Amino acid sequence: MRKINNLIFIFETFLTKFDFERFRFDYYESQGLKIKILNISPITRKKYFEGEKEKNNYIQKTQKICFSIKDLEKEVLENENLETASIVFIDNLDYEQKVVKILKNQNILSIKYIYGGQPIKKKTFFKIFFHTFLDLSGAMQKAIEKIGIFKNQYLKKTEPDITFYVGSNLKPNGKSKSISLPSFEYDKINLPSSKKNDLKIKIPFALYLDAPYRHPDTYEINRRFPKEKSYGFDEYYGPLNKFFKEFEKITRLKICVSSHPKANYTINPYNSFELFGNKTFELATDSNCKVVLLHSSLAINYPILLNKPIMFLVHSKLSYSNKKNVTDISNFFEKKPIEIDKKNFDESIFKNQLRINANKYNIYKKQFILEKDFKNSSYEIIYNTLININDNKR
């Protein structure tokens, strides 16, 4: 058996406190592994890097920035022929292939980590034709991207040594060894130290999962098809605040907002509604939380695991892709999203939204949260895999 002593994480994002909790770098260090975190966003996501590099909500001191492939090769070369593994988080398939090849050339165990799946419905032929008619150049750009993806997936693919995946829908079809993991939210709920809740909301409330109007994903808005326009602050938060006011009157539930982990609010955009800084777990597990409101978010895993009602929200200013994501997920649960700026919300609609389809919850759990029952957390499974790597299989 060949023990791994060094672990390199390669991201194309800046990491927040939430990310450090999600990936549990501290756990690997407590087990004696030497950790290195590399950020290659200047290579793969230049607009994102330039726009986010000065923000103060990221933990940057522990991340090494790679400005070129040569920088990455230099960092990796320091661990050449040592007992090293690298976990890669890269959406761009072309760069993912380049990174995996670099790792393999240096005899470093290459690992892909796939998580974050949600129900997505393919566009109909009519929709594709309609959007192509309106945006021919965008359609051509998307077609070129699809060809590139096909080449990377089928014609010149270099398989990672191991793929960790969350949920049966993300199980890879490749030849590399694949290992199923539970989601972060499952880890969190089942971690003994997570049971404490010091918020103590004393009255029944509805939890809204914040999605900031300037989410980092908007740096890639020019790559979306059909074309999308960004919206203004008031256009986004105005309809939400009006709806929340009406919601409290109709339901007699207090609105509590949990900010997105990457939000960097200096003021509360939700006016008189209480904003909690990234307290989704604490609020979702509170016995006074009666329903969870959201657009589309991976944090939906909390109410699904806790068997709590969910309500999906859309409004006219949301982009096409955002509306589609919300609609696809709500349709999965056989629900219709609430159009919050149409003023058609009432008590009967609310009561109908409180229903839970137990079968759909169970299917969602298996497909996107945990494929099977787990005795260990995701990071414990990864660590146990790494310390038992068979040298002959590398």
- The amino acid that residue 128 corresponds to is I
Nearest to 290 by CA among 205, 222, 224: 205
Q: Quick one: pLDDT band at residue 226, thresholds 50, 70, 90?
A: low
Q: Which long-range contacts (CB under 8 A, 24 or more apart) does 74-79 make?
A: 75/8, 75/36, 75/38, 76/8, 76/102, 76/103, 76/106, 76/108, 77/106, 79/6, 79/8, 79/36, 79/106, 79/108
What pLDDT score was predicted for residue 43? Answer: 96
Least confident of 27-36, 106-115, 126-135, 342-351: 126-135
Sign of CA dihedral 86, 105, 81, 63: negative
Q: Which two tokens stand for residue 49?
A: 């890097």
Q: How many CA atoms lie within 13 A of 74 on its CB side?
A: 9
What pLDDT score was predicted for residue 155? Answer: 53
Q: Per-residue b/e over 72-103, b at no fewer than 16 CB within 10 Å? A: beebbeebeeebbbbbbbbebbebbbbbbebb
What pLDDT score was predicted for residue 77? Answer: 87
Mean confidence (pLDDT) of the chain: 87
Residue 28 has phi, psi (to 5 degrees) of -60, -40
Per-residue pLDDT reduced to its tens digit, 134-151: 566 665 666 556 555 555
Q: Quick one: pLDDT band at residue 222, thresholds 50, 70, 90?
A: low
The answer for residues whose C-beta is within 8 angstroms of residue 274's C-beta and 6 or more apart is 254, 255, 256, 257
SS3 304: helix
The C-alpha angle with vertex 266 and arms to 236 and 221, in degrees rounded to 5, equals 40
Q: What percent of the chain has pLDDT over 90?
A: 61
Element (H, E) at 113: strand 109-114
Q: Which two tokens stand for residue 39?
A: 């950020």
Q: Which two tokens stand for residue 277?
A: 């800084």
Q: Quick one: pLDDT band at residue 378, thresholds 50, 70, 90?
A: very high
The answer for residues whose C-beta is within 8 angstroms of residue 367's C-beta and 6 or more apart is 117, 119, 167, 168, 169
Residue 69 pLDDT exceeds 60: yes
Nearest to 339 by CA among 311, 299, 300, 320: 311
- Average the pLDDT over 330-350 and give the result: 93
The C-alpha angle with vertex 280 and arms to 275 and 314, in degrees rounded to 5, equals 75
Per-residue pLDDT reduced to its tens digit, 72-114: 999 998 876 668 999 999 988 889 999 999 999 988 999 999 9
What pLDDT score was predicted for residue 312? Answer: 97
Cis peptide before 172 (omega within 30 of 0): no
What pLDDT score was predicted for residue 1? Answer: 46
User: In the chain, what are the domains?
Assistant: 6-114+159-182+372-393 (3.40.50.2000), 190-369 (3.40.50.2000)
Least confident of 59-68, 131-140, 169-178, 270-279: 131-140
What pLDDT score was predicted for residue 128? Answer: 59
Least confident of 105-114, 191-200, 382-391: 191-200
Highest mean pLDDT among 170-174, 226-230, 245-249: 245-249
* Spatial contact of 26 and 9, defined as CB atoms under 8 Å apart: no
Highest mean pLDDT among 34-48, 121-135, 187-201, 306-320: 34-48
What pLDDT score was predicted for residue 392? Answer: 40
- Average the pLDDT over 318-344 and give the result: 90
